[in-house]
Amino acid sequence: MTVRVLVADDQEPFRRAAGAVVAATAGFTLVGSASSGEEAVAMASTLSPDLVLLDVRMPGIGGVEAARRIRAPLKVLISTYPATEAARAAGSRFLRKEDFGPAALRALWQAR
């Protein structure tokens, strides 16, 4: 099984880096890349990803609200800031950006 991943972050360098991590991790494939919470919600409804990586702070609705609206098996909020109560309330897991890599990606999926 290949895990279909959607990445949403307002910073293009992180979207590219996250996409590269996904592409380099066996069993995962990048199906889309969004630059805002609204775009992530729209893309998730058409792409049906298995895993959505959402930056907490994005223009518009942001990652927390986008996580509440997206129906996907696993939603992970990512940030350079510590986890917030709002992130946990969105029914999502949390990961600091600097900890993101192939091992973290596999561990998140296995622990779902």
Q: What is the pLDDT of residues 53-99, one digit of tens each?
A: 999 889 899 888 999 899 888 888 888 776 665 666 566 788 889 99
34: number of Cβ within 10 Å:
25
Report whether 56 contacts 63 (CB < 8 A): yes
DSSP string of 40-89, one letter each residue: HHHHHHHH--SEEEEESS-STTHHHHHHHH---SEEEEEESSPP-HHHHH
Bridge partners (DSSP) listed for residue 77: 54, 94
Tokens 């192939």 locate to 102
Predicted TM-score (pTM) of the model is 0.90
**Structural domains of the chain, ranges and CATH numbers in brackets:** 3-94 (3.40.50.2300)
